[in-house]
Amino acid sequence: MPHPGHGARRRLVARVAAGTAIAGAAAVAGLAGDLALTAGPVSPGATAPAGGATDPSGAPPPPIVTAPS
Amino acid sequence: MTAPATAGPRAITGTVLPAFGTRVGVWTTDASALPAAERILRSSVAEVDAACSRFRSDSDLSRVNAGAGRPVEVSRLLVEALSAALAMAELTAGRCDPTLGAALIAAGYDRPFADIVERGPGPRRPPSPGGGWRDVRIDHRRSTVRVAAGVALDLGATAKGWAVDGALQRIRGALGTAHRTTGLCVAAGGDLAVSGPAPAHGWPVLVGERLDVEGGDGGEPLLLAGGALATTGALVRRWGRGPEQAHHLIDPRTGAPAESPWRLVTVHAPTCLVAEAAATAAWLMGERAPAWLRRHGLGARLVAGDGTVRPLVPPFPATEAA
């Protein structure tokens, strides 16, 4: 049975991955390990709609990631 | 290095596009700045690629390599990129060596990485040690570069960071005073820098093992107020199997792919050029990296082979929990 808080965790993780929430909030909640579950991949060539997170469609900007490439 | 926090995180907008055999991106805290920022980023990376790519026979860098042993006239862009690379070689005592082109080819990296993934690496050859950077001659007045015979340039350890710094500066200049309160972030292949006022709590950045966070370790979220971040590791850009396995982080002393106790090294520096070079150097120097980073005032996050994060060298962007 899913934990009652799982929905909120998933939403927060998604927002952090999308750059629309305060990343530290996820760290406080111990969610860093959950990011892989919900953070969408960066699609080459994809363009976030103007406005990003504030766009009425809700489409988030691509996450900002530092990683080996 | 700390920028005033005036914009809210909800204002962040951005775009990512393929370049340099990886991905580059730009983010702003004002959506109206994004189209111009994206145009300038595209133009900047295209120019850097044309000058610095090892995989384009028409690039300035390829012409220098083909003409090793004599001065070759090149664009100002390559002169500047190479000058920056040589400065990083000095900073890192040669660990970040721009003359490892032959070593990379000997390790099988003789074609774009996407081709290695698709068709396999080139033939392995005996290692070719570096160190030729001390003999690179740049004539700024004539805009020529000469490397010694048998030496080949590769700017893979600095070109992305240098391009990020340059693009950020160009975008900032083009946006002008109308956007003086707009925060900017530019990234190339996982190395990034920010400029101007940051979002209210800093730029949310995931530090991870892969750019595609869905397929990687998920990453740790950080808040970046200013400066640059670069992450190095040998897990992604590697090829071959068993004893033939190789990667792109070459020990200049041996010319062969190096070993390190570090799985990942992320460095926080004033510029992306320094962050990228220092991350590579720190990965290569192993256990001595934390002391070296402290000595240079560079913040870092190092992940050991078993995945534990140790030690965190201050100053480094923190999560709110820290």
Q: What is the pTM of this model?
A: 0.82
* CB nearest to B16's CB, from A34, A42, A68: A42
Given a contact cutoff of 8 angstroms between Cβ atoms, the answer to whether A43 and B2 are in contact is no
- Interface touch A16/B221, C-beta < 8 Å: yes
A24, A39, A65 member nearest B223 (Cβ): A24
Q: Residue B160 has what pLDDT?
A: 96
- Polymer length of chain A: 69
- From chain B residues 132-161, the ones with a CB under 8 A of any chain A CB are 160
Which pLDDT does position B267 carry in this prediction?
96
pLDDT 10s digits, B131-160: 999 999 999 999 999 999 999 999 999 999
Within its chain, how far is the Cα of A57 from the centroid?
A: 16
Given an 8 Å threshold on Cβ–Cβ distance, is B25 in contact with A41?
Answer: no
Per-10-residue mean pLDDT of chain B, 322 residues long, equals 40 92 94 96 96 96 98 98 97 97 94 91 92 97 97 96 98 94 95 94 89 64 94 88 84 94 96 97 96 94 90 74 48
pLDDT (0 to 100) of residue A24: 34
φ, ψ for residue B281, nearest 5 deg: -65, -40
- Alpha-carbon span B106 to B122, nearest angstrom: 8
CB B285 within 8 A of CB B293: no
Q: Name the closest residue on chain B to residue A33, using Cα atoms.
A: B218
Give which of B258, B260, B255 is closest to B124, Cα–Cα: B255
Strands ordered across the beta sheet of B220-224? A64-66, B203-207, B220-224
How far apart CA A30 and CA A19 sit, in angstroms, is: 17
Chain A residues in contact with B320 (beta carbon < 8 A): 22-25, 27-28
Residue B193 Cα, gap to closest chain A Cα (Å): 10
Q: Work out whether the CA dihedral B6, B8, B13, B19 comes out positive or negative.
A: positive
Which pLDDT does position B315 carry in this prediction? 80
Q: Which amino acid is at A15?
A: R
Degrees to nearest 5, angle at CA B317 with B251 and B2: 115
Which pLDDT value is given to residue B279? 97
C-alpha to C-alpha distance for B154 and B4, rounded to whole angstroms: 37
Contact assessment for residue B68 and residue B187, using Cβ atoms and an 8 Å cutoff: no
Examine the predicted complex and report whether its ipTM is higher than 0.85: yes
pLDDT tens column, A26-69:
333 333 322 222 222 222 222 333 223 344 445 788 899 999 98
Searching chain B, which residue's CA lies closest to the CA of residue A35? B218
Question: What single-letter DSSP state applies at residue A47?
Answer: B
**Nearest Cα to Cα of residue B207 among B311, B317, B281:** B317
pLDDT at B310: 74
CB contact under 8 A, A66 and B208: yes
Q: Enter the tokens of residue B155.
A: 């700017």
Three-state SS string over chain B comes to CCCCEEECHHHCEEEEEEECCEEEEEEECCHHHHHHHHHHHHHHHHHHHHHHCCCCCCCHHHHHHHCCCCCEECCHHHHHHHHHHHHHHHHCCCCCCCCCHHHHHHCCCCCCHHHHHHHCCCCCCCCCCCCHHHHCEEECCCCEEECCCCCCCCCCCCHHHHHHHHHHHHHHHHHCHHHCCCCEEEEECCEEEEECCEECCCEEEEECCCCCCCCCCCCEEEEECCEEEEEECCCCCEECCHHHCEECCECCCCCCECCCCEEEEEEEECCHHHHHHHHHHHHHHHHHHHHHHHHCCCEEEEEECCCCEEEEECCCCCCCCC
- What is the pLDDT, as a whole number, of residue A40? 25
What pLDDT is recorded for position B235? 85
Sign (positive or negative) of CA dihedral B97, B224, B209, B166: negative
Tell me the per-residue pLDDT of B235-282, one tens digit each, with 9 for 90 and over.
888 888 777 789 899 999 999 999 999 999 999 999 999 999 999 999
Residue B126 CA to residue B128 CA, distance in Å, equals 6
Q: Are B281 and B92 in contact (CB under 8 A)?
A: yes
